[in-house]
Amino acid sequence: MFIQTEATPNPATLKFLPGRDVLPGSTLEMKEPAEAARSPLAQKLFAIEGVAGVFYGSDFITVTKSAGEWQHLKPAILGAIMEHYLSDAPLLSEGGEAEAAGEEFFEDADAETVDTIKELIETRVRPAVAMDGGDITFRGFREGVVYLNMKGSCSGCPSSTATLKQGIENLLRHFVPEVQEVRPV
């Protein structure tokens, strides 16, 4: 088994590509060891000193470090991922389902605008963000402001504000004149 790694815009995260599905059609973010009880692989990753977060995408795993250098952490992380996939153990424990989308908020009168915003996020934003080891999902729309939830390598990334303001906000404002601003939740 060959696991590829890719740098992300966030220097505290590294993206691991095991060459097979990880969590198709969904995502799961675990920001602390207590949340890892839902996944045997995440438990192994959090057991590595310096690992501070684990994010599962459709075909990748993003690991966030709190301390240490990648040159020291990477071999242990690769070993844990390889061991997990070679054991054929499930990614999620019984009852450890992926994240629900979360409750959205917007006025009924804005439903058509929200549909357009969601379509743009799904087709243009999420694929690009997934390439960087993260995910962005729609949370709400109120008074011209779009609220987005940032996960994986996007959460805490130094360039996430620029991505939101220059990238996503400009895209949405171009296609949806009602959008005035984009904010993280």
How do residues 40-88 score in pLDDT, each as one tens digit? 999 999 999 999 999 999 999 999 999 889 999 999 999 999 999 999 8
* Listed residue (74, 68, 61, 55) closest to 21, CA to CA: 61
* pLDDT recorded at residue 132: 81
169/153: higher pLDDT: 169
* pLDDT recorded at residue 96: 57
The 3-state DSSP class for residue 105 equals strand
pLDDT in tens, 97-131: 655 556 888 999 999 999 999 999 989 888 888 88
